[in-house]
Structure 1
Amino acid sequence: MRAGFGLGYGMLQRQNGQMRLSPRMQQAVRILQLPSSELEEMIRDELERNPVLEVVDGSMGIGVGIGKGKPSDFDPLKNVAASPSPTLQQILEEQLNLTTGVPALLRRMVRYLIGNVDSNGYLAISLEQAAIDVKAKSALAEAALEVLQSFEPTGVGARNLAECLLLQANSRPDCPPLVFLLIRSHLQEIAELNPAEIARRLRLNPRELGDAIEIIRSFHPRPGASFDSAVTSYIVPDIRIELIGKEVAVSVLEGAAPRLYIREDYRSMAKEAEGAPETSAFLSPQLHSAAFLIRCVERRRQTLTRVAGAIAEEQAAFIRFGPARLKPLSRRQLADRLGLHESTVSRATAGKFALTPHGVFELGYFFPIGYGQGNDDTASAESVKEKIRHYVRGETAKKPLSDRQLAELLEREGIPVARRTVAKYREELGIPSSVKRKPVF
């Protein structure tokens, strides 16, 4: 039986003094966090369950099939999401944003390490080089690595296979000591020999050895690989950000917050049934449930409008000029500006997309990692890529710039980026290496 929205409202206090959200408040938080497609599905179910609830025709987005609807000017085939699903870096950055008690300098170093995690989840830069690039002490880089390796997916931030497997072994309750021994000292034997031969050489119980090897084989050697998806996604956006003259305008599309109302005939019926206990017992919970859902959806609309409006103001240069002008921004900064909790901003932006003059982008795209000197970062990853593209366009054909030279040019602009990071960005831009760019004749 469906629970609906008829549950109690308010804060419940445990005996230990901790506060927890009531079921209704949990539902309100869930409605804010849901992607538009899942919100529509949830509202469909509620429309079927609750006869007093109705939706304004055409306010449920594309292809909903409730009411006659109205034509949409959004063509999903012309607007493929620029970021169809969260990248590994975005997932890690999100966890960092939600981690409290991390000093500013340490947080900056963690962000730099995140920017140097490859698609498999491994750290593609030495701690010594990271400390040099950020102009920090090696102890800070080591502390930052410890923070990074505490994030999901387990094993991320490892510098080699053994470290990746050890991180996963440490996260497993009651992991046998033999697993740690095999990972530290005998990975090569596990890969090349059969268990019986390993047991003979190491004088181990074959059954215990077999169990330990099975545990190791259950670990993921490439923890970041599941985030490396090239599948094209067609997205219906939640927010429209556009330029009207010189002004940036923001609006929440109907699919992100459908217009709901209580049917007037049921309102009238409820008034007439005030003296009829049976009818009132049926209608009262339905009316309260519908009213609560309407409030939640409207609050979602208001929160999305505020958050998207603040993003548009902070990233106005991006809206006007494109990705090269995207600037570093954190959810915490936006939350402080709006007077909201950081978790509210995170929920409001999770799984939401914006239609902009430059295409469809996930809202998480507008919170890029920054590079720069001091506590105030001055450049985002996208703007660094644009600079690399600019340098390559202006290079001498006979002497193309190497990745090291590109890193030095960025350093002169106050943007410390490792050579490996430059190489990664260059490859993402589809720019060949300097050797391949050099003319044959």
Structure 2
Amino acid sequence: MKPGLSLRVSQHLSLTPQLQQSIQLLQLSTLELAQEVEQMLGDNPFLEREGDEAEGAESAAGGAIETGAGSAELSSNSSISKAEAGSDQALAAPEWEAAAEPAVTGAAESLSWEGEDQGAAGGEESWEGLGASDWSAGGSGKGQDGDDGVDAIDLARSGESLTEHLHRQALSLRLDELDRAALRFLIENLNDDGYLEDSLPELAQGLAGEDFEALEELVHRFTVALGLLQSLEPVGVGARNMAECLRLQLRERLAQGERDGLDEEAQQLLRLALLLCDQPMELIARRDLRKLVSLCGEREEKLRLALALIARLEPCPGRRFADVQRQIVVPDVIVRPVRSQAGRMEFQAQLNPEVMPRLRVHDVYASALRGHRGSQGHAALQQRLQEARWFIKNIQQRFDTILRVSQAIVERQKNFFVHGELAMRPLVLRDIADELGLHESTISRVTTAKYMATPQGTFELKYFFGSGLGTETGGNASSTAVRALIRQFVAAENPKKPLSDNQLADMLKEQGIECARRTVAKYREQLKIAPTTLRKAL
């Protein structure tokens, strides 16, 4: 084959480093952006926060280099301009306290601990299958029905975690060194809900290794410590499974009732609830009264009362120790109502200045670089200076895009801010993309992990997008509005005769919305509403 030369013309898209950084910054959440800014501030000497230039001047050449008055900055109105130094509003990442790890030797006689009492905050999870409407945080036991009860937000603000709460109670127990160390070890191995997930032999195996005698001794120590742990507050802590957690709470109620002279009928009901907890949990979750009657040998009416009693218990003892403060969402955009010149109520979207980093190019180092042209490292330093300028520009572009998209959403969903989710209109990413001249992928990045504070609450930007369902008039109804209607229908239903998915579909049809039963079931599951059988009152 004879070699030859040919000319070909083609088009292709090349992602420059600046464009890649712009895309990356656009999809970051607020916390991730703050971390990225901190990393860039540590890596690039030409980048500084507004207000840090005085400190930089003292550290550069003993202050011998005089700087100009202007420098590039990112101000709260998202504009790059030349301005004097302002206040330092740094986005500092939260400081997490590290928990001290316990040091435990292999044998029981050398069981010892080092470090201070610290633990992780508990999380909140629900018992799936039993119906959210049946569970209440104010279950039985100490600290729930009496004056000892503590609100979850108050607990979160106090900063006390479940492990710290238990360690504080353990200090009041008169134990020898080994038993205290064993109890402390079990407390540290609880999960966020207050359950002991690993068995006692497994925990002992990790400490004793192949030493069989030490293993037996540790299992004995842990068995004693488990009884002490399960006697602490909140009642149910230290349980190995759901059934044991419920039994601990019922036994506490029964013991309290015997001390307080509870009538015999109420005590019998508690004993029946204990008997129910010995049965498979699947039967209780499904409320399978027919099988429970045959297993327990009791009448259906009494079983209904016992199931209702179990439903009022707390399946997650560590629930009220959840760190609510760390779940607070900081909005990127704030929507405020304003009066137009015509007197009409309008809504305006503004960027939240608290989440916007105030950055600028370091004037001292930039001036020093201009005064040393021709040096060996000049090209590399010029590149770092350009990176700092591009970083500031990309952050400005990120917030400008978020604001543009937010304003377009506010304009499309005006009725939502006045009347709530029932007035939500159908909206897809393509609608906003066509209006702003952007790609759908850009709108998707902007609306992910970005939040908007509105008069109706704080929502992720993706919340305002939803498909449309056909109506009898030929229009469309937003899926968000349909879900809101389903929630209203269920909230107003008769607890003894809950609405089925077919009935909900018929009720939506009466409202002029064509919605199939399968679609109703999907929306109901998205709303975390239990099926008809689990919503039925006992």
**Structure 2 length normalisation: TM-score?**
0.43
Are residue 252 (structure 1) and residue 351 (structure 2) matched? yes
SS at match of 1:29: helix
Are residue 50 (structure 1) and residue 44 (structure 2) matched? yes
Deviation at 1:30, TM superposition (A): 1.2
Q: Cα deviations across residues 261-298 of structure 1 (Å, max 9, x unaligned)? A: 11222232233224x52464453222211111111111
Deviation at 1:310, TM superposition (A): 0.7
2 CA distance for matches of 1:429 and 1:350?
Answer: 20
Change over 3 Å in CA distance of 1:427–1:19 after alignment to 2: closer
Q: Cα deviations across residues 351-401 of structure 1 (Å, max 9, x unaligned)? A: 222222233222111112221249986222321122234445666889765
2 CA distance for matches of 1:247 and 1:333?
Answer: 21
Counterpart contact for 1:318–1:326, Cα < 8 Å: yes
Q: Which amino acid aligns with 1:330?
A: V
Deviation at 1:309, TM superposition (A): 0.9
SS at match of 2:459: strand
SS at match of 2:14: strand
Q: Which amino acid aligns with 2:359?
A: L
Change over 3 Å in CA distance of 1:403–1:388 after alignment to 2: same
Are residue 408 (structure 1) and residue 518 (structure 2) matched? no
Alignment of 1:242-281 (within 5 A): 242-244=336-338, 246-254=345-353, 256-274=355-373, 276-278=374-376, 280-281=378-379
Alignment of 1:374-389 (within 5 A): 378-389=476-487
Structure index of larger Rg: 2
Alignment of 1:23-34 (within 5 A): 23-34=17-28
2 CA distance for matches of 1:352 and 1:392?
Answer: 31
Q: Cα deviations across residues 400-437 of structure 1 (Å, max 9, x unaligned)? A: 65432321221233322122333454466576666787
Change over 3 Å in CA distance of 1:349–1:267 after alignment to 2: same
Match of 1:238 among 319, 332, 340: 332
Which residue in 2 is equivalent to 1:319? 417
2 CA distance for matches of 1:431 and 1:345?
Answer: 31
Q: Cα deviations across residues 133-168 of structure 1 (Å, max 9, x unaligned)? A: xxxxxxxxxxxxxxxxxxxxxxxxxxxxxxxxxxxx
Change over 3 Å in CA distance of 1:27–1:399 after alignment to 2: closer
SS at match of 2:453: strand
Alignment of 1:93-108 (within 5 A): none
Which residue in 1 is equivalent to 2:79? none
Are residue 39 (structure 1) and residue 33 (structure 2) matched? yes
Counterpart contact for 1:407–1:422, Cα < 8 Å: yes
Are residue 419 (structure 1) and residue 520 (structure 2) matched? no
1 CA distance for matches of 2:375 and 2:346?
Answer: 56
Which residue in 2 is equivalent to 1:334? 432
Q: Cα deviations across residues 98-117 of structure 1 (Å, max 9, x unaligned)? A: xxxxxxxxxxxxxxxxxxxx
**Structure 1 length normalisation: TM-score?**
0.51
Counterpart contact for 2:501–2:517, Cα < 8 Å: yes
Deviation at 1:323, TM superposition (A): 2.1
Q: Which amino acid aligns with 1:33?
A: Q
SS at match of 1:277: coil
Change over 3 Å in CA distance of 1:351–1:397 after alignment to 2: closer
RMSD, matched Cα: 3.6
Q: Which amino acid aligns with 1:316?
A: K
Match of 1:359 among 457, 479, 485: 457
5+ long unaligned stretches in structure 1: 1-13, 66-79, 81-230
Change over 3 Å in CA distance of 1:46–1:429 after alignment to 2: closer
Change over 3 Å in CA distance of 1:58–1:244 after alignment to 2: farther
Q: Which amino acid aligns with 1:259?
A: R
Change over 3 Å in CA distance of 1:59–1:328 after alignment to 2: farther
2 CA distance for matches of 1:399 and 1:347?
Answer: 44
2 CA distance for matches of 1:273 and 1:359?
Answer: 55
Counterpart contact for 1:53–1:261, Cα < 8 Å: yes
Change over 3 Å in CA distance of 1:428–1:283 after alignment to 2: closer
SS at match of 1:361: strand
1 CA distance for matches of 2:423 and 2:363?
Answer: 50
SS at match of 2:438: coil
Alignment of 1:103-252 (within 5 A): 233-244=327-338, 246-252=345-351
2 CA distance for matches of 1:36 and 1:439?
Answer: 44
Q: Which amino acid aligns with 2:20?
A: Q
Change over 3 Å in CA distance of 1:279–1:388 after alignment to 2: closer
SS at match of 2:372: helix
5+ long unaligned stretches in structure 2: 1-7, 51-86, 96-123, 125-322, 340-344
Change over 3 Å in CA distance of 1:61–1:369 after alignment to 2: farther
Q: Which amino acid aligns with 2:511?
A: E
Counterpart contact for 2:34–2:93, Cα < 8 Å: no
Q: Cα deviations across residues 42-96 of structure 1 (Å, max 9, x unaligned)? A: 221111111111123554446469xxxxxxxxxxxxxx9xxxxxxxxxxxxxxxx
Q: Which amino acid aligns with 1:249?
A: Q
Q: Which amino acid aligns with 1:49?
A: D
2 CA distance for matches of 1:374 and 1:266?
Answer: 68
Counterpart contact for 1:273–1:279, Cα < 8 Å: no
Counterpart contact for 1:62–1:255, Cα < 8 Å: no
Q: Cα deviations across residues 314-351 of structure 1 (Å, max 9, x unaligned)? A: 12222222222222110101111112121221122222
Q: Which amino acid aligns with 1:260?
A: L
Are residue 21 (structure 1) and residue 21 (structure 2) matched? no
Counterpart contact for 1:61–1:254, Cα < 8 Å: no
Change over 3 Å in CA distance of 1:40–1:395 after alignment to 2: closer
Change over 3 Å in CA distance of 1:288–1:62 after alignment to 2: closer
SS at match of 2:336: strand
Counterpart contact for 2:470–2:514, Cα < 8 Å: yes
Q: Percent identity?
A: 38
1 CA distance for matches of 2:523 and 2:497?
Answer: 20
Q: Which amino acid aligns with 2:437?
A: G
